[in-house]
Homo-oligomer: A and B are copies of this chain.
Amino acid sequence: MNLREPHPKASLWRKSQGSRQEVLRCAHVTMVTLALCLSGVNSIAQTVSRESFAHAEVLRDRAMAGSSAMAIVTSLTTEVGPRLAGSEAEGRARAWALSALTERGFANVRNEPFEMEAWQRHEEGGEILSPYPQALAVTALGGSVPTEKSGLSGEITLFETLEDLQSAPEGSLSGRIAYVGHAMQRTQDGSSYGYFNKARTAGPSIAASKGAIGYLIRSVGTDSHRFPHTGALRYDEGLPKIPALALANPDADQIERIAAEGKPLEVRVWVDSSAVPAAESGNVVAEIVGWENPQEIIVIGAHLDSWDLGTGAIDDGAGVGITMAALELIKEAGLAPRRTIRLVLWGAEEVGLLGASAYRDRHAAELDQHVIGSESDFGGGRVWKVTAASQSEAGDALFGEIGRLLAPIGIAPGSNDQPGGGPDMSPLIAAGVPSLRLHQDGRDYFDLHHTADDTVDKLDAASLDHNVAAFAVFAWLVADSDVGFRAGSE
């Protein structure tokens, strides 16, 4: 037994020992726990103690009253700033994280390094050569090969959608620069990104397969500012790698207006970039170790790397702040969970979930002990829904209780058969790890995503605190139980 004394501030709630067998008593309870009592949650009462629920409420309310999330994001984005995967700056971000986590007194603070091929952006630009010479706001897509030093000039062929490009005859773009212009629309859940970002990821090689010498897209973003949105591309093997860039939305409008006049439209773009074959990245890990079943792990986290244009505040400083603050809140409350809560700050997410894959490989032997996981990687908007993917009755019941604890702060329980929980969870989900997702309102997320404008002034502290509340409730409640979410885990 390794039960710590409760934090003085949490003295209202005395920690129960061997609470598994304890029966819920409905005296001196808040509205929420009263609801639990009245709704008769006997099965869950056998696996999660009354005190554990009460502690979750305290955590939630403390988070809502103000957490350290904003201070954490501000520190990261100020003291490190941009931190491209595999760069020296990402290394400084790891040093920052190790220091921040050690200072907070978490256990097993460590870097788990891995090697990767990194990409570096040096210079870039663009201009319309004819019919109306003027500068264009463009940025190279992450991974783009460089142009010749003098740039790449060519006439543009416009496609409204990626499907239109796909339908172009072989060789029809020979010597030309392909442009795909479909505009991403706002959605609350960000679900349209999956469709629209294919123009960015898959487009360059599709264009190359038709003979194009360069590739331009309307930024995958929902703003109308002169910030081009970068983001990773994926070159197909066996096809020429052509330079690929995104235009800011007003510049894409300009291109389309000019093209609509029917005159030939010639542009010049230039990219200086390079690849670093054996760069270092890493995942930074910290824990609150469980007193009863330390080998059973609840993963929360965010990714530490960012694109290089902004300072990575919404993507994903916010997630770093939210999940680190949630862990801190639990520790500061003097609460000791029965299982281990592990914070993972993944490296090199933006360039293909490299950190998440490295984590999966390094921890392969303990993946079956990963109870559940969730990443925060959708900016700083409030949470409006919680979903999960449970395959056990106890998991279903606990999911219901998490939903009931989050409902008072406006979070509605959604489906419980929906795997998900952030990009870095996907390799773990594929390896069988259950997941929970706190859905944030992302209507504004793609205004800033992958732009120079992704800076900390765009975040709202109260909104981050709302996320901290949700993460703290979730992580604490699962960690202080013995509920499993896998099939047959009961």
A residues within 8 Å of B by Cβ? 74, 78-82, 89, 131-135, 137, 224-227, 249-250, 253-254, 257-258, 310-311, 452-453, 455-458
Residues of B within 8 A of A227 (CB): 225-226
Is there contact, CB below 8 Å, between B132 and A78? yes
Residues in B neighbouring A133, C-beta threshold 8 A: 81, 89
Top 3 closest pairs, chain A to chain B, by CB = A81-B134, A250-B455, A224-B457
Task: Give the distance to chain B from A79, nearest Cβ to Cβ, in Å.
Answer: 5
| A-B contact list, 16 entries, CB within 8 Å | A78-B254, A80-B134, A81-B133, A81-B134, A89-B133, A137-B452, A225-B227, A226-B227, A226-B310, A226-B455, A249-B457, A250-B453, A250-B455, A250-B456, A253-B455, A254-B455
Taking the nearest CB of chain B, how far is it from the CB of A441, in angstroms?
20
- Per a CB cutoff under 8 Å, which of B80, B131, B224, B457 touches A250? B457
CA distance A455 to B227 in the complex (A): 12
* Chain B residue contacts of A134, Cβ below 8 A: 80-82, 89, 311
Chain B proximity of A120: nearest CB distance (Å)? 14
Enumerate chain B residues within 8 angstroms of A81, measured Cβ to Cβ.
132-135, 254
Q: How far is the CB of A390 from chain B (nearest CB, A)?
A: 42
Contact partner of A82 among B89, B135, B224, B258, CB < 8 A?
A: B135
Q: A135: which B residues are within 8 A, CB to CB?
A: 81-82
Nearest neighbor of A253 in chain B, beta-carbon distance = B457
Instruction: Provide the residues of chain B in CB contact with A225, threshold 8 Å.
Output: 225, 227, 453
A79 and B132 contact, Cβ closer than 8 Å, known pairs A310-B226, A457-B224: yes
Closest residue of B by beta carbon distance from A454: B226
Q: Please, which residue of chain B has its CB at the minimum distance from the CB of A258? A: B78
Quick one: which of B224, B226, B257 contacts A78, CB cutoff 8 A?
B257
Chain B: which residue is nearest A81 at the CB level?
B134
Q: How far apart are A207's CB and chain B's nearest CB, in angstroms?
A: 25
Cα-based distance from A225 to B227 in the complex (angstroms): 10
* Chain B positions within 8 Å of A254 at CB level: 78, 81, 311, 455
Distance in angstroms from A294 CB to nearest chain B CB is: 37
Whether the Cβ atoms of B80 and A132 lie closer than 8 Å is: yes
A224 contact set on B, CB distance < 8 A: 457-458
Q: How far is the CA of A226 from the CA of B457 in the complex (A)?
A: 10
* Least distance between A93 CB and chain B CB atoms (Å): 11
Instruction: Report the bound CA distance from A78 to B261 in whole Å.
Output: 11
CA distance A74 to B132 in the complex (A): 13
Report the Cα distance A80→B455, complex, angstroms. 32
What's the minimum C-beta distance from A186 to chain B, rounded to whole angstroms? Answer: 16
* Residue from A81, A89, A137 having most chain B Cβ neighbours under 10 A: A81
- Measured in the bound complex, the distance between the Cα atoms of B253 and A453 in whole Å is 13
- Chain B's closest residue to A225 (CB) is B453
**Chain B residues within 8 Å of A257, by CB:** 74, 78
Contacts of A458 in B (CB 8 A): 224
Query: Considering only CB atoms, which chain B residue lies closest to A136 in the complex?
Result: B81
- How many angstroms between the C-alpha atoms of A226 and B95 in the bound complex? 27
| Nearest-Cβ distance from residue A132 to partner chain B, whole angstroms | 5
- Complex: chain B residue closest to A128, CB-CB: B81
Report the minimal beta-carbon distance from A449 to chain B, rounded to whole angstroms: 14
> Nearest chain B CB to A395's CB is how many angstroms away?
43
**Measured between alpha carbons, how far is A134 from B257 in the docked complex, in Å?**
36
In whole angstroms, how far apart are the Cα atoms of A358 and B220 in the complex?
A: 47
Interchain nearest-CB distance for A67 vs B (Å):
19
Residue of B nearest to A74 (CB): B257
- Chain B residues with Cβ below 8 Å from A453 are 225-226, 250
CA separation between A89 and B135, bound complex, in Å? Answer: 12
Distance between Cα atoms of A418 and B224 in the complex (Å): 37
- A135 CA / B131 CA spacing, docked (Å): 34
Residues of B near A311 (CB, < 8 A) are 134, 254
Taken together as a complex, chains A and B put the C-alpha atoms of A158 and B78 apart, in Å, by 18
CA distance A133 to B227 in the complex (A): 22
State in angstroms the CA–CA spacing of A74 and B256 once bound together. Answer: 13
A452 to B455 Cα, complex, angstroms: 18
